[in-house]
Amino acid sequence: MILMNAVLPAAAAGALIGLAVRALLPARRDLASALDRLDVAKAGGPTVASAAPVSTGSFPERVGTRLLGEFGGRITLPAQDLALLRISPAEHLGKRVLFALYGLLLPQLLQGLLALAGAPLPFVMPAFVSLALAALFWLWPGKEVARDAAAARQVVRHAAASYLERVALARIANSGAAQALTETAQVGDGWIFARMRQVFHQADLAGVTVWDALKQLGDELGIPELTRPADTLALAGEGAAVYTTLQAQARQLRIALLSDAKAEANAASAAMVLPVTAGVILMLVFVMIPVTITILGS
């Protein structure tokens, strides 16, 4: 029985490791899906090439590439968050899978060690813990990506407010819509301005208008603060006066940012109520204990 309790976790660990090694083998190319992607690319209008994350060649990325090749159509990933953070979908998927495998293996290996020591746990217990850890470790990288993407979008919103005001000033100075967008992006020093300059350069090579390129960037990253001024500047390309509209958008965005900052401050203050209350109660308890002991002993 002890040998069986030691063999079963080892067999499960070996099977999972085999799956990970199998994921590293070259994937077979799917000709039908490749032709479908080509047909979609031909049918659509001109688009700006997305700034793909630089491939790191890491072990999680190789695992994720294999899994995407096999099950890419059935796996849902936070594409906008990953594009915003410049994280490869393959690397993110591989990290989540390897984390889940680690969660599955850890309790089984512990069960094997306990079985060899002569004190095995019931098989149901490590199996349940393995599934729970696997689910937790699978969700963990996704939560990190969502948190980092939310912080990055907040940075972009601040940059977009300044960008709108500068574009509005450029327009009132009789600059063209395309010139106002591109030259204003040149003076920005944040990472979002670097992305915008790259997208504008690609739009120039692809024959796409800069406001369409900006809208594509906003849609790709899930940042409506970039798509709205793009729509406004599209009207500017037709000769409409948009200075007032851009100024209004910048003012509304700054008011929204101020409201968000106040909400975060209120949430932080509310979160401190419980620790402060607990500290006061503990202090009162420590003060009252000697007094109570003295009264009861007299």
For the stretch 148-207, pLDDT in tens is 998 888 888 888 888 888 888 887 887 777 888 888 888 878 888 888 889 998 888 888
How far is Cα 51 from Cα 186, in angstroms, rounded to an integer? 18
The predicted model scores a pTM of 0.67
| pLDDT bracket for residue 145 (50, 70, 90) | very high
Least confident of 2-16, 31-45, 137-151, 157-171: 31-45
Quick check: 45 and 4 in contact, CB under 8 A?
no
Closest CA to 230 of 239, 219, 221: 219
* The one-letter amino acid at 199: V
| pLDDT bracket for residue 143 (50, 70, 90) | very high
Can you give the residue ranges of every domain in the chain? 2-27+49-151, 154-270
3-state secondary structure the chain: CHHHHHHHHHHHHHHHHHHHHHHHCCCCCCHHHHHHHHHHHHHCCCCCCCCCCCCCCCHHHHHHHHHHHHHHHHCCCCHHHHHHHCCCHHHHHHHHHHHHHHHHHHHHHHHHHHHHCCCCCCCHHHHHHHHHHHHHHHHHHHHHHHHHHHHHHHHHHHHHHHHHHHHHHHHHCCCCHHHHHHHHHHCCCCHHHHHHHHHHHHHHHHCCCHHHHHHHHHHHHCCHHHHHHHHHHHHHCCCCCCHHHHHHHHHHHHHHHHHHHHHHHHHHHHHCHHHHHHHHHHHHHHHHHHHHHHHHHC
Q: Spell 63-81 as b/e; 16+ CB within 10 A means b.
A: bbbbbbbeebeeeebbeeb
| pLDDT bracket for residue 53 (50, 70, 90) | low
Q: State mean pLDDT over 236-246.
A: 65
Does the pLDDT at position 12 exceed 60? no
Comparison of pLDDT for 289 and 144, the residue scoring more: 144
Quick check: 111 and 62 in contact, CB under 8 A?
no
Quick check: 217 and 160 in contact, CB under 8 A?
no
Q: State mean pLDDT over 232-240.
A: 63
Query: What's the whole-number average pLDDT of the chain?
Result: 77
